[in-house]
């Protein structure tokens, strides 16, 4: 089961937490990807320019998740079509944020 509305609100909180921790972050609703336009979606873009990293964590109502992290020297990770459900979404997000190496102010 995937409670999209619950997790979309949760991601809003994570965006606020990321900003408070020193990341530049922006929440986007309704990504326009032709294959998924029929699905509601939400994404969090995270930028950490001091370390040359930026990324996007996105999920769709149908229970799919993608995340990507890019560094100054090229792609760091690109994971697509991951199973997003009530049991996995927070773990996927933690995995995504792990590529940023922890808190920017640390």
Does residue 19 carry a pLDDT above 80? yes
Q: Is residue 91 part of a domain?
A: yes
pLDDT digit string, tens, across residues 45-83: 999 988 899 999 999 999 999 999 999 999 999 999 999
CA distances from 77 to 53, 70, 104 (A): 11, 7, 19
- Which domain, by its residues, includes 61? 4-98
Distance separating alpha carbons of residues 101 and 97, to the nearest angstrom: 7
Q: Is residue 104 a contact partner of residue 17, using CB atoms and an 8 Å limit?
A: no
Does residue 51 lie within any of the structural domains?
yes
What average pLDDT does range 88-100 have in this prediction? 93
| Class of residue 95 by CB neighbours under 10 A (exposed 0-12, middle 13-18, buried 19+) | middle
pLDDT of 106: 40
pTM of the full predicted structure?
0.87
**Residue 36 confidence class, pLDDT cut points 50, 70, 90:** low
Residue in 25, 23, 77 with CA at minimum distance from that of residue 50 = 23
Q: Is residue 89 part of a domain?
A: yes
If one counts the domains in the chain, the total is: 1
């Amino acid at each position: 089961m995937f409670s999209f509305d619950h997790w979309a609100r949760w991601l809003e909180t994570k965006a606020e937490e990321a900003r408070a921790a020193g990341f530049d972050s922006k929440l986007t609703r309704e990504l326009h990807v032709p294959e998924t336009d029929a699905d509601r979606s939400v994404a969090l873009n995270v930028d950490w320019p001091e370390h040359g990293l930026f990324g996007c964590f996105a999920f769709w109502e149908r229970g799919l998740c993608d995340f990507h992290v890019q560094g100054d020297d090229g792609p760091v990770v690109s994971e697509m079509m991951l199973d997003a459900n009530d049991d996995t979404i927070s773990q996927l997000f933690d995995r995504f944020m792990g590529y940023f190496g922890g808190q920017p102010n640390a």
